[in-house]
């Protein structure tokens, strides 16, 4: 179902939309605007999903096991040493 609506565009937006129609990429200005709104809807939904995933990751990290700074330093030093050996790099 289509709903008629009146909108305002800047000169640049209007020129760009009309160029898309004139080039044959879209059949009408309405098609251009519908596609733009669809892309914006998809982007908004994706951003909401990403934000939720980040909140969940942060929640898991905050409630999960922790490693002391001393233990982390040891792990990093061991990792660096393994990489140096693997790459034959002198310290």
Measured distance CA(34)–CA(76) in Å, rounded = 52
pLDDT of residue 22: 98
pTM: 0.64
Residues 19/26, Cβ–Cβ less than 8 Å:
no
Kindly list the domain boundaries of the chain, sorted by start residue: 11-87
Reported as a pLDDT band with limits 50, 70 and 90, residue 91 is low
**Residues 42-88: tens digit of each pLDDT:** 999 999 999 999 999 999 999 988 889 999 999 999 999 999 999 98
pLDDT of residue 1: 81
Residues 29/18, Cβ–Cβ less than 8 Å:
yes
């Amino acid at each position: 179902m289509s709903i008629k609506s009146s909108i305002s565009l800047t000169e640049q937006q209007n020129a760009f939309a009309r160029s898309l129609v004139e080039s044959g990429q879209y059949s009408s200005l309405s098609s251009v605007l519908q596609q733009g709104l669809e892309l914006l809807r998809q982007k908004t939904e994706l951003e909401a999903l990403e934000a939720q995933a980040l909140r969940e990751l942060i929640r898991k990290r905050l409630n999960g096991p922790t490693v002391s700074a001393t233990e982390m330093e040891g792990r990093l030093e061991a990792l660096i040493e393994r990489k140096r050996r693997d790459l034959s790099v002198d310290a």
